[in-house]
Amino acid sequence: MAKPEDAKNLSYPYLSSDEVNEHFKAIVRNSEDAIISRTVSGIVTSWNKAAEKLFGYSAAEMVGNPMLALFPKDRLNEEFFILDLIIAGEKVDHFETIRIHRDGKLIDVSNTISPIRDSFGMIIGFSSIVRDISKRKKLERLQNQFKAIIDYSDDAIISMSLDGVIQSWNRGAEAIFGYSSDEMIGMSISHLLPPGKHDENDNILEKLKKGERVAPLESVRICKGGRPIAVSITTSAIRDAKDRIVGISKILQDITLKKYNESRLQLTSSVFSNTNEGILITDAKGTILEVNDSFLRISGYSRDDILGKTPAIFRSSRHAPKFIEAIRELLMKSGTYQGEAWSRKKDGSAYASLLTINVVKDETGEAKHYVSLISDVTPLREKQEQMEHLAHFDALTDLPNRILLADRLQQAMAHVNRHKQSLAVLYLDLDYFKEVNDNHGHNAGDQLLVTVSHRMRDALRNVDTLARIGGDEFVAVLLDVGTPVECNYLAERILHACAEPVLIDGHLLQVSASIGMTIYPQDNTDAEELMRHADSAMYQAKQAGRNRVQLFDSALESEIKNRSLQISRIAQAFDTNEFVLYYQPKVNMRLGTVFGAEALIRWLHPQRGILPPSEFLPVIENHNMEYILGYWVIETALAQIESWRGLGLAMTVSVNLCANLLLKADFIEKLTALISKYPLMNPGSLELEILETNDVQDISKILLVVKQCQPLGVGFSIDDFGTGNSSMTYLNRLPAETLKIDQSFVRDILVDHEDQAMVKGVIALAHAFKRKVIAEGVENIEIGEKLLDLGCDFAQGFGIDRPMPGDEFPTWVASWAPHDYWKNRAYIIN
Ligand code: C2E
Ligand code: CA
Ligand code: CA
């Protein structure tokens, strides 16, 4: 560091001081740099040519004046600071700063300030050498900018030597590839190449060396960690001042996302054109911008037909304008709509579509496009309709099934309610259909069902419904029927349709139908109950002999309703032994002997007293209870015979046998088992009273059973003889030993000549056919007298005595004596 005293030693040995002075002046004058001197207080003392040029002020303007105008405000402190340093004796190197040109422009300068001392070494002023460095500074700034651009670019900007060694690696490169510049500078660029791509770089290098331009290319590079990315690469040569290629620069862009978007777009567009769904795109106003081929296929329009139009052209008349409004509103609210809609094809026909509309919004949230997806669900609908058909129609006959019937009946009821009409519900059951199935097979049965059901349907009117609700059961609902007569007419038509023979597999098959019918609202109840009523009437039609129509009778119905209650009460009574047999004596009036008794059932009802069979037997008719009670009667009568036998009383006991029991398949077996319980008993002590019947079929069956029973030794009698039409047939064919003249003839024998004639006839018949004849209902002595006169010795009736409990019977037998009038009466044969 120079001390102020050193200035005193300043000397120039070869020149005089004047010469020195001139010399310096010349240097100053001709200097390229501005050379300025000033006093300590800052007044300019000299201002050379270069200063004039640099600052734009002439020497005349500056010398003698302060040079403050040259300083930007913020540089004044810097100047004072440096001057202070110099005064303090510090040596200050040149520094770079800024000054102001006369025209106001800032100038970059380098400044060297030195002190001027007097001969005593005191600082009396300062000299400045100021050099214009604007050009260099500009260049420097430019370079810095370039560097910044390169540094801060998102793209990777990499320079390398001709042999591929990386020289620079910017932040973009760091971001894209994940390597820091420290890691990469000095490495080979081939580090970034995926395996198998090494010649890519070599080819580029070759081209560059030959001075050829290398077109930008898209390729793949590998990042730190091995992740491949798609890049676009621009390669250029780096040349020196003499235009020699000294290196290579590469700019790489990560285009992975762009590539992904591109492929997505490609996918989207292939979906757009290949999907089965119709796609329609409109702008915000609803103008159609684009449709895909599927849409054209579904709608039948061509692209030219619809581009530029609005979807209003597809609107089906099936939708009210409100429907479109509703969709629009929903779109506004939620941005999406989905639902089924009907649309119109070009040819005007309608098709069902599943419609999805989505709003596509721009960045500001404004609706930009509407994208509609349309799938034609017409085939689906058809399938659905098919399924619905299956669910509602019988597969065999294609008639409505039970489910649809319920629906139709409800509707029909509502209809007749509105129009004050009537409807009829008919319950149909085919007669003898089981036989067809059994004898000809189920296929034939099915064919018969199909044919017969279609004939029945054809016999009805269009407004009527015929449904199949079970194997051979059908229900018809007839609308707007007038009188029951009209109704009957329709039902008769069905009967006829049914009874027509059907030719199946060469066989002529024939069935008939039993129809139960009820009429609404005369039968004022609900649908379910109407069906039940028609069903129960059908059952009555069957009972009445089939192939007929039976109108539902509500009085009968309520009786049936009670029936099940009564049956359960009877079953309970049976369990608690409330049933007993009473015995009514049968006597020989002429001889005055008791030869037997008729067993008659009684119910010893705890509340109602002794109930006659008419109170409960009809209730259990055709019910299982009838058989249970029937066998019980036989068993009880057998036990009674046996018990009397034990007392030395040999009695023939007759029991009343209902035809149903007799005709049961296991009857003979059961009867045999019961009798075999009493091996010591004469089986002939048991007599079965069978009622006369009019059913010819039943007669033959009864005949068969009776014949099969004969080996058992039990006796048979025909009860209530003379009441049926088939008495002669019976007498002819039935091997029954006894005829019981019905009490209705006996009762009036004294007053009614016809009855008397009838009784006479029966007695004569009995004698002719060598049968025993017994009169029942002998209420008094006179009747008995008359019977004896007519040749009938055997009698039963209140005139002899009423039915009595079994344990009273032996005493009664012992005490009974015939009337004097009856004894020893002569036969009157006429
Ligand atoms: P039924 O076989 O004709 O029996 C004779 C009925 O006439 C008996 O009535 C008897 O009490 C009644 N009776 C007897 N003598 C006279 C008389 O002089 N005047 C009048 N008015 N009636 C007389 P009950 O016991 O009420 O039986 C009625 C019907 O019930 C019987 O008619 C028979 O068909 C049936 N029945 C009775 N017990 C049984 C039974 O155990 N099983 C079956 N299946 N039916 C029975
Ligand atoms: Ca009887
Ligand atoms: Ca009788």
- Give residue-wise pLDDT tens across range 775-816: 999 999 999 999 999 999 999 999 999 999 999 999 999 999
Residue 746 CA to residue 607 CA, distance in Å, equals: 34
Regarding pTM above 0.85, the answer is: no
Predicted confidence at residue 593, as pLDDT, reads 93
Residues 6 or more apart in contact with residue 412 via CB below 8 angstroms: 423, 465, 477, 479
Predicted confidence at residue 311, as pLDDT, reads 86
Provide mean pLDDT across the span 450-477.
Answer: 93
The number of beta carbons lying within 10 Å of the beta carbon of residue 22 is 12
- Nearest Cα to Cα of residue 54 among 133, 143, 125: 133
Regarding the beta carbon of 52 and ligand 1, being less than 6 Å apart is answered no
Regarding the beta carbon of 339 and ligand 1, being less than 6 Å apart is answered no
In the chain, pLDDT over 70 holds for what percent of residues?
95
| Cα–Cα separations (whole angstroms), residue 244 to 139, 188, 206, 240 | 22, 22, 15, 5
Residue 6 reports pLDDT greater than 70: no
Regarding the beta carbon of 803 and ligand 1, being less than 6 Å apart is answered yes
Tell me the per-residue pLDDT of 401-431, one tens digit each, with 9 for 90 and over.
999 999 999 999 999 999 999 999 999 999 9
- Nearest Cα to Cα of residue 745 among 763, 729, 730: 763
Between 306 and 733, name the one with better pLDDT. 306
Residue 442 CA to residue 437 CA, distance in Å, equals: 5
Show the CA angle centred on residue 531, arms to residues 529 and 535, nearest 5°: 115
Predicted confidence at residue 773, as pLDDT, reads 95
- Nearest Cα to Cα of residue 625 among 589, 672, 661, 578: 661
Provide mean pLDDT across the span 293-304.
Answer: 92
The number of beta carbons lying within 10 Å of the beta carbon of residue 223 is 16
Supply the angle between the helices 667-675 and 624-646 in degrees, to the nearest 10.
20
Atom of ligand 1 nearest to the CA of 658: 44
Regarding the beta carbon of 597 and ligand 1, being less than 6 Å apart is answered no
What is the residue with the minimal CA distance to atom 19 of ligand 1?
A: 777
Ion ligand 2: residues, CB within 5 A, are: 656, 689, 719
- Nearest Cα to Cα of residue 114 among 106, 124, 104, 103: 124
Residue 243 CA to residue 228 CA, distance in Å, equals: 36
Q: Checking DSSP bridges between strand 166-169 and strand 217-222, what pairing results, if any?
A: unpaired
* Residue 534: exposure state from Cβ atoms within 10 A (0-12, 13-18, ≥19): buried
Tell how far CA 330 is from the center of its chain.
26
Structural element, H or E, at residue 815: helix 809-815
The per-residue DSSP string of 524-543 comes to: -S-HHHHHHHHHHHHHHHHH
- Nearest Cα to Cα of residue 474 among 489, 488, 495: 495
Regarding the beta carbon of 633 and ligand 1, being less than 6 Å apart is answered yes
Predicted confidence at residue 9, as pLDDT, reads 47
Supply the angle between the helices 781-790 and 753-768 in degrees, to the nearest 10.
50
Residue 8 reports pLDDT greater than 80: no
Regarding the beta carbon of 777 and ligand 1, being less than 6 Å apart is answered yes
Atom of ligand 1 nearest to the CA of 612: 26
From 574, 598, 600, the mutation candidate for ligand 1 (largest count of ligand atoms within 8 A of CB) is 600
Tell how far CA 178 is from the center of its chain.
55
292 and 279 in contact (C-beta within 8 Å)? Answer: yes
Regarding the beta carbon of 610 and ligand 1, being less than 6 Å apart is answered no
Question: What one-letter code names the amino acid at 345?
Answer: K
Predicted confidence at residue 676, as pLDDT, reads 95
- On the question of a cis peptide bond just before residue 400, with omega within 30 degrees of 0, the verdict is no
Residue 344 reports pLDDT greater than 80: yes
Distance 719 CA to ligand 3 centre (A): 5
Regarding the beta carbon of 661 and ligand 1, being less than 6 Å apart is answered no
pLDDT band at 331 (very low <50, low <70, confident <90, very high): confident
Q: How many secondary structure helices (H) and strands (E) does the chain include?
A: 28, 32
Tell me the per-residue pLDDT of 47-89, one tens digit each, with 9 for 90 and over.
999 999 999 999 999 999 998 889 999 898 998 999 999 999 8
With DSSP H G I counted as helix, E B as strand and the rest as coil, what are the percentages for the chain, rounded to 5?
45, 25, 30
What is the radius of gyration, based on Cα positions, of the chain?
Answer: 66
Residue 2 reports pLDDT greater than 80: no
Mean pLDDT of the chain: 89
What is the residue with the minimal CA distance to atom 37 of ligand 1?
A: 600
Residue 234 reports pLDDT greater than 60: yes
Residue 280 CA to residue 472 CA, distance in Å, equals: 55
Residues 6 or more apart in contact with residue 346 via CB below 8 angstroms: 299, 300, 301, 305
